Amino acid sequence: MLKNIEDMLLPEQITTADINNSLKQLLMSVNDKTAKPSSDHHESDVHDNELRKLNETIQVVRKEKQIRHSIQSQESDIKGILTDFMKSVSEQILELKYELKEHVKKTSAQMEELKDITCGLKKHHSLCCNDISSKMHDVAEESESVKTQMSVLNEEFLKRWQSFTDSIKTQLSAITDHKKKNHHSVQS
């Protein structure tokens, strides 16, 4: 009988009704035996032992139930803590995503500004290069013009110089001839 009661109390999901049913069966068993006059004192000791074992089993079951309840309470607390932690982490992730999104927007805007500045600098550089090229072409043309003018001036200068030297030679020759004539006429 005690073995049946212990078997009923040992499953993991023991309810108060299970314990009450086990006690009722034990009491009925004890009442049946006490109703019959017991001649044997030994039988009374057996009943006492059975009651003591049943009481110990009930205490063990209660402790196990308390432990299970404590574990369930701890698990519930841990779940609550984990839920709060995950909620906090989720909020922080959302905040970081928002900050990252804003940073990307700012960076994109700055990149567009840099792109515009670069394009402006390229255009300015291109205009400067074109302007320099045009001025170099103008300088080259002016240089050619100056060369041509210098060449013409040199030719005119050479002609005038030649004319001047020819004139001086002619005048010197005339003076020399005139001196010779004067010298011949003085001697004659």
Confidence of residue 48 (pLDDT cuts 50, 70, 90): confident
- Please tell me which residue, 79 or 10, carries the higher pLDDT value: 79
Task: Give the count of domains, the chain.
Answer: 1
CA distance 104 to 110: 10
Q: Kindly state whether residue 177 falls inside one of the protein's structural domains.
A: no
Whether 36 is covered by a domain: the verdict is yes
Q: What would the DSSP string read from start to end of 20-67?
A: HHHHHHHHHHHHHHHHSPP--HHHHHHHHHHHHHHHHHHHHHHHHHHH
Tell me the pLDDT of the chain averaged across its residues.
83
Give the model confidence (pLDDT) of 74-130 as tens digits.
999 999 999 999 999 999 999 999 999 999 999 999 999 999 999 999 999 999 999
Find the mean pLDDT for residues 54-72.
87
Q: Judge whether 63 lies within some domain.
A: yes
**Structural domain includes residue 85:** yes
- Please report whether residue 185 resides in a domain: no
On whether residue 179 sits in a domain, the answer given is no
pLDDT value at residue 14: 61
Rounded distance, CA 79 to CA 15, Å? 25
The domain of 11 spans 2-94
Q: What is the pLDDT of residue 50?
A: 80
Asked if the structure places residue 138 within a domain, the reply is no
In a domain, 143, yes or no: no
